[in-house]
A and B are shown apart, each in its own frame.
Chain A
Amino acid sequence: MLNRINKFGTIIAFILISFYACDEIDAPYRDKDNAAAVAGVNYIDESNVSIDGDTFSFPIDNSIPPKKVLAEDYTGTLCGNCPYAGEKLNDTIKPGYGDRLVVISVHSGFFANPCPAGFACPPSRPAGALETDFRTSIGNDWDVLFGNSNAGNPNGLIDRMDYPSSHIKAPAVWAAKVQERSQLAATFGLRILRSYDASSKKLKVAVQSRAIGNQTGSYKMQVVLTEDSIIDWQYWYPPVSPAADPHFLHRSVLRSGVNSTFGEEISAGGFSNGDLVLKGYNATIDPSWKEKNVRVVAFIFNAITYEVKQVEEISLMP
């Protein structure tokens, strides 16, 4: 009888211990500090910053800029339906907006895992085809948060609106959502200055934001690098044939983050009209990238809703 009670007691104790194995999380749900001090960056005032000895100065500008729109195309080289969506975004929608529409192609998820290891790698492919890996750690982290590849490529985010319930937008609605966002009044101005030394591959970037009207809430700034017009393999589903295309034009491919994965905080409590925030960074350009096609993209977003308030883009080379 004692043995029976011991065995029963052991199992009951196990059950009780299991009940304590629960971590109920209360707000704040996101308080990890991703901002890091950038070596060589010294802030002089809200309009002047020294980066590795070079001073970047923003002249006073109180003009009201247009609201620019950020379109993120979540894609993959092995996603046969994705090039149709990418071409629609870059060749049909973007020409109507010019520099008021900034595109980032984020290669991530199942269909971005290249050959030969990628699970979606077609058994039949020319030697060496579809082996370029366009994935980035920042793009992978974005994809995990927003769930784009999990929802089935191709899809995208338009100004990251409607997070977290319906932020993933099908290509069919991209045009309408871009138009909707482009008609909003700008709540921030955003300017980028940069210098680039081709011999050392060193990039220096200064980004200044300006609140237009009083803005409540907390905001973050994200700076990334993209490379446009990369000619490389892409897989197509019918009717395009052959399915593996060696000359596909990959547009605005996300290459790396300049600051942290989900940006850095520029305000925890909001802004008054005209408030300025200045940020400086330095980065190194990968030798394999074509410098003339590399662009610096900066955007401001609500730290809680991720909604992009303003975006700006500038070429690496003047």
Chain B
Amino acid sequence: MDAQYYFKDSLIGAPEVPQKLLSNGFANFEYEKGNFSAGIRYESYLDPILGYDTRYQGSGIPYRYLRYNIGDLDVTAGTFYEQFGSGIILRTYEERGLGYDNAIEGFRVKYVPIRGLTVKGLIGRQRNFFSTSEGLVRAADVEWNLNESCDSMAGNKTQWIIGGSFVSKFQKDDDPVFNLPENVGAGAGRISMNSEGWTASAEYAYKINDPSGTNGYIFKDGQALLFNLSYTKKGFGAIFGVKRIDNMGFRSDRDATGNSLMINYLPALTKNHTYSLAALYPYASQPNGEIGLQLELFYNFKPGSTFGGEYGTDVNINYSRAQSIEKTLIDTVGNPEAIDLGYTSGFLMFGKEVYFEDFNIEITKKLSKKWRMHLLYMYLHYNKSVVEGRASEPTVYAHIAALELGYKVTSKKNIRTEIQHLYTKHDKQSWAVLLLEYSIAPNWFIAGFDQYNYGNDISAQRIHYFTGTLGYTRKTNRITIGYGRQRAGIFCVGGVCRNVPASNGFLMSITSSF
């Protein structure tokens, strides 16, 4: 359970909260006996913490299921999460930090007719806060592990998996203007290979016309392609990923916006940074069209080598970029109705607008028995107008550096510090961060954190966002209390984002498992 007590703070734009105290809480209860399992999750938002959608207000049991497994057959009745392939036509999941939950309530059947072959079918409606969506989701997936099925391939070093899926949604057409499709289908095919350190996977998806609030009610089809290639061996790793997305927003309610009722998941293909300034401008996937790529290299310099020193050195280099796809408006001369088809786009044609670019190097090194160090440098290009969906916002070009030092006082006592700096002439200009943390394993930690917008062009906005936190952990129980300021911004996980408003107050978090 998380609870926050708020104070008004005009300087940072934090409003006065009449309730003073807001809380989000949940409790999972699971029961399992033999082939049968059941569970419920009680959720309570009294009232929702600032930044979470206020449609969560209230309490209830939005997640409940009964499940029975008879060898090769697995049946779920109730609420469930599911993912087909990489999720580009169906992924339902919960991300508590985002207030995101698009679970399906209905029936799901999984069946393994022969070894290595898994067939899934489901039907239901998606969770919409404490109710369900108007639209109905029907879906099926087949995945075949060739090596498991074919005895002749069982011992091969190269493993192959192929799969295909289909998702259809139904929503009544009550639009006053358009003849909308009530049944919208999307299909995908995928293949993956794994051989002696190499892993390659590809998935292509196609969606028929799906006019929606997200795409401006055009009747264009949608396509998506994901390709990932990686190679790892001891001390070295390389990952390459590329994607192309064109009009692939897919929701069970065509008029839904924000993070509501998304059936599919479009990965960001960018690095999730942990340092607060490196994560100040995160990327959100653009369902209406983007081409993105990511390359990541990892190398471990062995102890005793020139760069490895006494304890070895890890170096991680990452580059990611996302930009527009080329779009050519439909020629409507002689065919004016074609305007509702929107545009055409060559499959591998790049647009000119850069949405996001991130180049970063991280070095991790143990300096001595007592000291360890982590260094980060990052260059960022952030198209705020596109990523945050706000007109006339500046594009941010920034250089970010972070130094993290850890000192082991004793075997149980550690001190950790982070010094971060973000330099930019755009948006709110430059920031600096200092963090100090002292922990006594395995029970206690105390931390102080200051994020200072020292470079803001408006002198009154050169604000310190200070936070202090004290935590206690015992067995499976953890209590954290803190006080501080939260700056306004956006918070993203895997390309899905929510707005975070400014706030000032106390925070208490209790986590317990039994």
Binding site for B on A (CB under 8 A): 4, 7-8, 11-12, 14-15, 18-19, 21-25, 27-32, 34, 110, 119, 122-124, 141, 144-147, 150-152, 155, 163-165, 168, 170-172, 217-218, 237-238, 241, 260-262, 302, 304-305
Contact = CB atoms under 8 A, between A and B. Distances in A.
Max count, chain A CB within 10 A of own CB: residue among B16, B109, B142, B337: B337
B337 A28 contact: yes
B217 A145 contact: yes
Interface string B303-321: 0000000000000000000
B209 A25 contact: yes
Nearest to B461: A238
A23 B176 contact: no
Interface in B268-304: none
Given A21-B185, A305-B336, A124 B176 contact: no
A62 B167 CA distance: 59
B343 interface: yes
Given A11-B140, A18-B140, A151-B389, A145 B19 contact: no
A163 B339 contact: yes
B362 to A, nearest CB: 34
Contacts of A170: 391-392
A11 to B, nearest CB: 5
Given A14-B121, A24-B209, A261-B176, A305 B339 contact: yes
A146 B181 CA distance: 19
B140 A238 contact: no
Given A7-B113, A8-B111, A305-B336, A19 B166 contact: yes
Contacts of B329: 165
Interface string B166-205: 1110100001111111111101000000000000000000
**Main DSSP-derived SS at the A contact region:** loop
20 contacts: A11-B119, A18-B140, A18-B166, A19-B166, A21-B138, A22-B181, A22-B184, A30-B178, A32-B175, A32-B176, A124-B15, A144-B213, A146-B216, A150-B213, A164-B217, A165-B327, A165-B342, A168-B391, A302-B336, A304-B336
Contacts of A123: 6, 15-19, 50
Contact of B255 (A28, A119, A144, A146): A144
Contacts of A27: 337-338, 340
Interface string B116-135: 00010100000000000000
Contacts of B182: 23
A284 B368 CA distance: 84
Contacts of B18: 123-124
A241 B8 CA distance: 14
B390 interface: yes
B27 interface: no
Given A11-B121, A261-B177, 4 more contacts: A21-B138, A21-B185, A22-B181, A25-B179
Max count, chain A CB within 10 A of own CB: residue among B6, B119, B255: B119
A217 B113 contact: no
Contacts of A238: 13
Contact of B139 (A18, A124, A145, A151): A18
Contacts of A305: 332, 336, 339
A25 B341 CA distance: 11
Contacts of B138: 18, 21
A304 B185 contact: no
Nearest to B257: A150
Nearest to A306: B339
A26 to B, nearest CB: 9
Contacts of A150: 213-214, 257, 389
B496 interface: no
A302 to B, nearest CB: 8
Contacts of A23: 181-184, 208
A8 B10 CA distance: 63
Contact of B339 (A24, A110, A119, A304): A304
B213 A31 contact: no
A152 B390 contact: yes
Contact of A122 (B15, B109, B178, B255): B15
Contacts of B261: none
B67 to A, nearest CB: 17
A172 B385 CA distance: 13
Nearest to B22: A123
Contacts of A152: 388-391
A164 to B, nearest CB: 5
Contacts of A171: 391-392
Contacts of A172: 391-392
B212 to A, nearest CB: 10
A78 B183 CA distance: 36
